[in-house]
Amino acid sequence: MGFIAKLVYEQAGIVIREHKEAMTRGRLARRVKALGLGSVSEYCAFLKTPAAADEIPELINAVTTNHTSFYRERHHFDHLRKEVLPRLVQERSGRRGRIRIWCSAASSGEEPYSIAAVSRDVLGSRSDIDFKILATDIDTDVLVKAEAAVYPSDQFERLPSDIRPLLKLEPHGGRGEVRISDDLRRMIAFKRLNLIERWPMSGPFDVIFCRNVFIYFDTQTKASILDRFVGLLAPGAFLYLGHSESLPQPHPQLRLIGRTIYERLP
């Protein structure tokens, strides 16, 4: 397991802690089977061969934890909808001003569609603002699900009635599934992006969501990603982290202004 843990750390920054090794073995079982191998040891031996280059993304897809849900940690969506977007719209309307949001660990799409839903609510039908959400993740399997935008309808049953309609769900296929409307889907560009590699975007972003992924990284990786977020955030822009996440150390250009909400200082 040491070999796999080292490879996953080098490739994705994810630290596989000892108490998670059994779970990781379980997740690797599907790769072992897909390749017609007999055990995780055989899988490790395969990963050491030159033929394994194409297997690395599959390995990363297998070990990532993708748990997510619509409007998870609702306070961030309320802050975006009530505090951030109305001000940005007021500032930028009329001059075809831009608003840019980056959802940097988007998983299977629930988080970026929740962002799109509250954004559409604030933007309405106005066309005088160039609004875009970039949604990225390292895991190509979840990105396929996110682009499909099809979810079991029972996922929505317990959502609060004031925000559920904002998702504009449409019936899909008659098998207890629904689809997010084209209108919200068009607001988002999904791309594969590894947070520990080079990023092709130059910013500036008005909002960055980076929630429930820092928990898998060590302090050094978090500090380096945070510095790069700060470089891409416009002055006065916001960074949302997950509920159990905090800055590895205070950052001179980030001020905590709410529950895991940071403002980029000028």
Ligand X SMILES: C[S@@+](CC[C@H](N)C(=O)[O-])C[C@H]1O[C@@H](n2cnc3c(N)ncnc32)[C@H](O)[C@@H]1O
Smallest separation, CB 78 to ligand X (Å)? 16
Interface segment toward ligand X; rule CB under 6 A; list 18-26, 78-86, 175-183, 190-198: 190-198
Residue 105 touches ligand X, criterion: CB under 6 A: yes
- Strand residue runs (E) in the chain: 97-103, 129-137, 150-152, 169-172, 177-180, 188-192, 205-210, 233-241, 254-258, 261-264
Residue 260 touches ligand X, criterion: CB under 6 A: no
61, 74, 59, 76: which is closest to 107 by C-alpha?
61
* Catalytic residue list contains 137: yes
End-to-end CA distance of the chain: 45
CA distance 22 to 1: 9
Residue 68 touches ligand X, criterion: CB under 6 A: yes
Q: Map the footprint of ligand X across residues 226-245, applying CB under 6 A.
A: 242
Interface segment toward ligand X; rule CB under 6 A; list 60-68, 92-100, 169-177, 199-207: 60-68
Interface segment toward ligand X; rule CB under 6 A; list 77-85, 134-142, 154-162, 169-177: 134-142
Letters for 148-167 (x = contact with ligand X by CB under 6 A, - = none) are: --------------------
Residue 114 touches ligand X, criterion: CB under 6 A: no
Query: Considering beta carbons, is residue 105 or 166 the nearer one to ligand X?
Result: 105
Side chain identity at residue 100, one-letter code: R
Query: Considering beta carbons, is residue 12 or 89 the nearer one to ligand X?
Result: 12
Give the nearest residue (CB) to ligand X.
68
The sheet carrying 97-103 orders its strands as 188-192, 129-137, 97-103, 205-210, 233-241, 261-264, 254-258
Tally Cβ neighbours within 10 Å of residue 119. 26
* Catalytic residue list contains 54: no
SS3 of 101, please? strand
Given the residues 27, 72, 92, 228, the one annotated as active site? 27
Smallest separation, CB 58 to ligand X (Å)? 13
Query: Considering beta carbons, is residue 13 or 43 the nearer one to ligand X?
Result: 13
CA distance 165 to 140: 29
237, 228, 170, 174: which is closest to 201 by C-alpha?
228
Given the residues 137, 185, 206, 264, the one annotated as active site? 137
Residue 48: both structure tokens together: 């050491």
Contacts to ligand X by CB under 6 A: 12-14, 64-68, 72, 105, 107, 111, 137-139, 142, 194-196, 211-213, 216, 242
Q: What residues act catalytically? A: 27, 137
